[in-house]
Amino acid sequence: MGKCNKYFVVLMQVLAICCLGLVIYSQTFHGEFLFDDVSFITNNDGVKNVSDVNAISRILSQPSRIVPLYTFALNYHFNRLDPFAYHVVNFSIHIITTFLVWWFVWMLVAPRKRTSEVRLHLRGAVTPTRCVYGYGARVAFFTALLFVSHPVQTQAVSYIAQRFASMATMFYVGALCLYIKGRQLRRSLRSVGVPTKTSGWSVLCFIGAVLFGLLGMFTKEIVITLPLMILLIEFLFFHRKKKINWIYVIFALMGCMIIPFVFSFNFASLLFGTKMSESHPGDVITFGKYLLTQLRVFVVFIKLLFVPIGQNVDYDFHLSKNIFEWPVILSFVFLEFIMFFGLRLAYLAGLFSKRPMGARRRLISTYALIAFGIFWVFLTFSPNLIPRRHVIFEHKLYLISIGFYIALSVGLCALIKNVRKLVLVMAVIILTCSFLSYQRNKIWQGPIPLWEDVIKKSPNKARAHINLGRAYIQRKQYDRAMQHLDKSLGINPLHSLGYNNKGIIYGTKHQYDLALKNFNQALQINPRFYEAYNNRGVVYRDNNHFEEALEDFSKALDLKPDFDKAYYNRGTVYKNKRQYESALADYNRTIELNHQYVSAYGDRGIIHLYQKQYDLAFKDFEKALSLRPDYVEVYVNRGILYGMKGRYDLAIQDFNQALKINKNYAKAYYNRHLIYLKIGEKQKALEDVQKARALGVDVSDEYLETIR
C-alpha cells in the first residue's frame, strides 16, 4: 500500500471517530450545570479568579485535583457560566483520550517490525505489519470506537464535574503511551546498532510519561495505580529474564506512594473510620462492609460493560452486612472465575513458563492480550476499595472500561477470521452502543430529565426528589416542586434541605408565615445551615423586620464568610435603612467575592446616585447592563441619572428601552413623564403619568390637573 493511501485510511478513521463522537454527544453541548456542577462551578467562588491559584487549590481539603479545577477556572475566565464551553472541553478531552487509547492498543498489538521482543502470534494468522488493514489496526481501531461510543462513558463526558475522571484517564493513558514508545525506541535502537544518534527521543518519551503521570496525580487519585500498570506492561510485554527485576517492583511501589506522601492523606481514617452512606439511607459504612459491597459493585460494572442498560446517576445501593449473603458469595465466585480465567490465559500464552525467558522467543498472543485486559480491569478498579460515602458511581468505569474494550476487541478478531463478518459484527456492536449512548445523553440536557430518570430507578432516595423539586422551583413550577419536596421529607423527615426549599416556595408565594416555619424547621435540624439563615433573612427583610434580617444575614456570614448573597442581602437592608456607608461596604464585598454579581452593581450605583457620585454611579450602571442587557431597573436608574445631568434625550431613550423590556413597568412611565414635563411635552407627560397611576403609582387628581 502506498503512503498516500495509508494516510488517507488513517485520516478517514480519525474523521469517523470524531464524527461518531459528535453525533453521540451533540445534544449535551447545550445542557445545563447539573448535580455537583453547582458546587464545583456555579456556586464556587474559588474558580472565578484564574490568577488565584491558592484559592483554587483550597476548594478541596487536598490539592489532589487542582489540574481539572484550574481548567474550570479557565473556562470561567473565558466563558463565564456558559455551559456550552464547558461541555466542549469535556468532549475534547474524551476525543483526545480516545486517540490515546487507539495509539496505546496499536503499540501493544502492532508494534514496529524492528522491535524484536514484541511480536504477535495467532494460530492461522499472519504476523502483523503496520498495514492499516491488518489485524493490529483492526484491534486498535475497534477498541477506540468502543471507547468513544460505549454508554458507560456518558457520565464522565456529559457530566461536567466529572472532568476529574476523564482528564485523569487522559493523563493515565498518555503516560502509558509515552512509556511504551520510549521503551520500544530504546530496544529497537539497540537492535540496529544505533545507541546514541536518536537515543534522546526515548529519554524525552520517558520524561513525558513522568510529566503526564504527575499531572494525572494532581487530577484524580485513581492515577495511583499507574506505576503498577507500567510494571504489568513491563512484565507482560518487555521483560525477558527468568527472574523478576525487583528494581522495577521497588520503583513501582515508590511511585504508588507519591499520592499518599504528597497529599498526606489520613489513611487510617479513610480506611477504618465510619461514615454515613450517601448511596442508601441509614447505612453506616465500615471497612469490612464496604469491601463486601464492592464485590457486588464490581459485578454491576461488568454487567454494564456487557449490557449497558439500566444506567443510573444516583444508585440506591445498600451495604452488604456479612460475607454469607448470597449476592456477596455469588459475586465473589464470579470475580474469582474471571481472575482465574485471566491467569489461565496468561499461562497459555507462556507468561509463566519455567524455561529461561532467553531460551525461547517472547510472544504476545491473543491469550496474553485478553489476560492484560482482564488484569487492567481489576487493577484500575482497586482504588475503589478505599471507602467512600458513595459506594457506586458509573464515571469510575471511564478508566476501568479500557481493559474490557481491549479484551473484547482482541477476542472478536481472534474468533472471527473472516474480515467481512468481523467488520459486520463490529459495526452492529458500535451502532448499538452509539444508539444507547445517544439515548442516555438525553438525560444530561437538564436537571428535570436527569432527576426524573433517577427517581424511576431509585424512588426511595430523598436527594433525587429534592433535586427535582429544586429544578421545578427554578422553572417556577411550584406545585410540582412541592410534591417532590413532600415526598423527600416523607422518606427522610430530617432532611433540612427539603424544608429550606419548601420555605423558598412559600416565600415566593408571599406565604411568609409558612416560609418562616419551614426555615425554622431546617435550622432546628441543622443549626449551621447558612443558606437557611440567608433565606429567612430575606423573608424578614421583605416584611420590613430589618433587625431580624440583619441578625440572620450576619449569622449566615459567620458560618460562611465568603457568602456573596448574604453580603448583598444585608446591603439591601442597610440601603433601606438609609445607612449608605454600611450598604456600600457590603456591596463592595459582594463584588469582590463575585465579579459577576449583577444586582450588586445595580444597587451600588443607586448608593452612588444618592451620594451624588454620578461618575461612579454611571460606571456601575454600565457594568450591570453589560452583564445583563435586559436589566430593566438599571435602565430606569440610568435614565434618572441622565435626567439629573440634563441629558434628556438619553434619559428618554433609557426609559423607552425599559418599557420595551417590560411594558407594565410603572416606574419607567412615571420618570419619563417627569422628563417630558421638563422639555415641555405636557401631553406625553400626561399620558405617561396616567399609565403609571393605572399601574399602581399614587398620583392625585390635583396633580393631574396641574399637568393639564
Average pLDDT estimate for 186-196: 51
Contacts 24+ apart (CB under 8 A), 631-634: 631/598, 631/602, 632/658, 632/661, 632/662, 632/665, 632/668, 633/602, 633/658, 633/667, 634/602, 634/605
Q: How confident is the model at residue 553 (pLDDT cuts 50, 70, 90)?
A: very high
Residue 15 lies in a domain: yes
511-531 pLDDT tens trace: 999 999 999 999 999 999 999
Tally of domains in the chain:
1
264-313 pLDDT tens trace: 566 666 677 788 899 998 899 999 999 999 999 999 999 999 999 999 99
Task: Give the pLDDT confidence score for residue 7 in this predicted structure.
Answer: 78
Within 26-82, where are the H helices? 37, 53-57, 66-79
Residue 535 lies in a domain: no
Helix, strand, coil percentages in the chain from 3-state DSSP, rounded to 5: 75, 0, 25
Cell numbers 487509547 correspond to: 101
Q: pLDDT above 90 covers what percent of the chain? A: 65
Q: What is the mean pLDDT of the chain?
A: 87
Angle in degrees, 0-180, between the axes of helices 598-610 and 580-593, rounded to the nearest 10: 150
- Per the CB < 8 A criterion, the answer to whether 66 and 56 are in contact is yes
Task: Give the pLDDT confidence score for residue 380 in this predicted structure.
Answer: 97
Nearest C-alpha neighbor of 594 from the set 627, 559, 556, 564: 564
Q: What is the pTM of this model?
A: 0.86
Q: Among the listed ranges 51-65, 327-341, 554-568, which one has the minimum average pLDDT value?
A: 51-65
Residue 461 lies in a domain: no
Residue 470 lies in a domain: no
Residue 335 lies in a domain: yes
Residue 275 bridge partners (DSSP): 285
Average pLDDT estimate for 30-53: 86
Q: Among the listed ranges 12-16, 58-62, 616-620, which one has the minimum average pLDDT value?
A: 58-62
Expressed as residue numbers, the domain containing 260 is 3-33+81-443
Residue 655 CA to residue 676 CA, distance in Å, equals 11
Average pLDDT estimate for 637-656: 93
Residue 433 CA to residue 149 CA, distance in Å, equals 6
Average pLDDT estimate for 31-35: 91
Q: How confident is the model at residue 233 (pLDDT cuts 50, 70, 90)?
A: confident
Which is higher by pLDDT, 614 or 8? 614
Question: Would you tell me how many other CB atoms lie within 10 Å of the CB of residue 357?
Answer: 16
Pairing mode, strands 364-365 and 120-121? parallel
- DSSP 3-state of 550: helix
Task: Give the pLDDT confidence score for residue 430 in this predicted structure.
Answer: 97
Nearest C-alpha neighbor of 69 from the set 145, 195, 6, 163: 163
Q: Among the listed ranges 191-205, 412-426, 688-702, which one has the minimum average pLDDT value?
A: 191-205
Q: How confident is the model at residue 241 (pLDDT cuts 50, 70, 90)?
A: low
- DSSP 3-state of 284: strand
Residue 544 lies in a domain: no
Q: How confident is the model at residue 133 (pLDDT cuts 50, 70, 90)?
A: low
Residue 342 lies in a domain: yes
Residue 368 lies in a domain: yes
